[in-house]
Amino acid sequence: MKFVKTPVKGMVDMLPADMRLREHILGMIKKTYAAYGFMQIETPVMEHIENLTSKQGGDNEKLIFKVMKRGAELQRAIDSGSGEYADNGLRYDLTVPLARYYANNKEKLTTPFKALQIGNVWRADNPQKGRFRQFTQCDIDILGDDTNLAEIELIAATSGMLSQIFAEVGITDFTIHINDRRILRAAALKAGFDEEAIGAVLISLDKYDKIGAEGIRKELVEDGYAPEAVDKYLALYEAGHEPELQAFCDEIGQEFLDPEVAEGMAEIISCAGAMISDHVRIVFDPTLVRGMGYYTGTIFEVSIDGYNFSIAGGGRYDKMIGRFSGQDVSACGFSIGFERIITIVKDKMGEQMSVPEDSVAILIDKRVPVEKKMEVFKKAKAMRDEGITVTIQPMRKNMKQQIHMLEEEGYRQFEKVYRD
């Protein structure tokens, strides 16, 4: 049998410098979110297959890494010819597991519950820059709060965290896009589409950035929708991504949209805007769709100029937890694209993150007697007790190359210990 030394497609090995950067950014994330009262939890990497295929995860449900039944259960499935060979699957996001977690543990949790969850997820996707089959997600969610304080807190906390991370690499500006699924639904109904057509219409609208209004019109007409309905629909979006919120909602009209929706969003934008950096824009974007089927209200995304992907996104999903517990629970969350943030930071850094500048490398000649080694170990312990990073290594024959490699890691102080 021949072993393969490279990782599975879409998964990567992390070198020490990679891990230093990841841990540094994770530390900033945890510290920032803790300051807003979010509490860290953990859920298993595997979920029941019926939870993952409940039509709550949108297209992600097509990308599940399924885990086969085992032993007698697998044999029974094969013998029955049912084709149901999987009973579990690797989670494709952290939201579905959170809903199950809350339904299972709600008696032990405060209300509202502010959760921080960080962990790996898996999708059988087509790997590309910033997109992997195994990747880390960082989610914050507020469960049990049906007011827009949840959205305001989520946006302010995430904006503060991103501003802190990106400031280290000279990025100060980014944009928070905000919309509401109720506005999306009302706009489609206003144009004359029936309820059953809304899902397909939104799939086309979600391509606004890529194909524009004319591309959307062509696609919808080719799909069999009436040209007059399509034209009426796209007329609402003539102003593009950032029309004035109240004017857009007035155009839809109260027959289709409760005025409280626009009022609530205006409040979110103004209140969150008061807590975020002056360099961060928060804008109403009626073309923002987000594909997850579980969103019920406000949705949001974060983008940075020069990158063709969002770096964070989320929204309100008030119906998901009730599918597990039998009782609806208000829920709103923000998911950070951790791998994409890492990609951007590495692009801007131009170099790897090194060990601390005061780190010391002690190289010991192999002929050094035990008594002298003991002195070195005691000295190293004292330095470590003071918070200094110290590595002790046997001195190589090619010490010049050894020191060069340590310098690549960031070491600048060297002590060489010889026998005499």
For residue range 135-161, what is the model confidence (pLDDT) as tens digits?
999 999 999 999 999 999 999 999 999
- The per-residue pLDDT for 303 is 93
pLDDT digits (tens, 9 = 90+) for 181-209: 999 999 999 999 999 899 889 989 988 88
Question: pLDDT at position 61, please?
Answer: 82
Residue 122: pLDDT over 70: yes
Instruction: Give the dihedral sign, CA 186/188/192/195.
Output: negative
Q: Which strands, in side-by-side order, build the sheet including 174-180?
A: 39-41, 113-122, 134-143, 331-336, 312-316, 298-303, 174-180, 280-284
State the number of CA atoms in the 13 A half-sphere of 145 facing the CB: 20
Q: What is the Cα–Cα distance from 96 to 23, expressed in whole angstroms?
A: 25
pLDDT band at 4 (very low <50, low <70, confident <90, very high): very high
Phi-psi category of 151—alpha, beta or left, where left has phi over 0 and alpha has psi -120 to 50?
Answer: alpha
Token pair, residue 71, equals 């032993």
For residue 238, give both structure tokens: 């003539």
| Across 68-81, average pLDDT | 88
Predicted pLDDT of residue 77: 86
Q: Report which of residues 308 and 30 the model is more confident about.
A: 30
pLDDT score recorded for residue 58: 64
pLDDT recorded at residue 420: 74
What local confidence, expressed as pLDDT, does residue 351 receive? 64
The span from the CA of 132 to the CA of 121, in Å, is 10
Strands (E), 123-198: 134-143, 174-180
Cis peptide before 112 (omega within 30 of 0): yes
pLDDT at 402 over 80: yes
User: Per-residue pLDDT averaged across 4-20, rounded?
Assistant: 91
**Does pLDDT of 130 surpass 90?**
no
Point out the least confidently predicted range of 13-22, 55-64, 302-311, 358-367. 55-64
Say yes or no to pLDDT of 59 above 80: no
Counting Cβ atoms within 10 Å, is residue 397 exposed (0-12), middle (13-18) or buried (19+)? Answer: exposed
Tokens at 318, concatenated? 């008030």
281-299: pLDDT as tens digits: 999 999 999 876 788 999 9
pLDDT value, residue 141: 97
Assess contact for 323 and 274: CB atoms under 8 A.
Answer: no
Residue 210: pLDDT above 90? no
Which tokens in the block code for residue 388? Answer: 């200094």
Confidence of residue 3 (pLDDT cuts 50, 70, 90): very high
- Which one is the CATH code of 16-45+91-349: 1.10.150.120, 3.90.870.10, 3.40.109.10, 3.30.930.10? 3.30.930.10
- pLDDT, tens digit, 9 for 90 and up, residues 366-389: 999 999 999 999 999 999 999 999
Whole-Å CA distances, 2 to 5, 6, 8, 9, 139 = 10, 12, 15, 17, 40
**Per-domain boundaries in the chain:** 16-45+91-349, 360-417
pLDDT of residue 98: 95
Distance CA 120, CA 338 (A): 10
**Would you tell me how many other CB atoms lie within 10 Å of the CB of residue 109?**
16
pLDDT of residue 79: 85
**pLDDT score of 105 more than 70:** yes
Average pLDDT in the 298-316 region?
91
What count of other Cβ atoms lies within 10 Å of the Cβ of residue 190? 18
Q: What percent of the chain has pLDDT over 70?
A: 97
Band of pLDDT at residue 125, cut at 50, 70 and 90:
confident
The larger pLDDT score, comparing residue 291 to residue 173, is at 173
Question: Considering the chain, what is the average pLDDT of its residues?
Answer: 91
DSSP-derived pairing of the beta strands 298-303 and 390-394:
unpaired
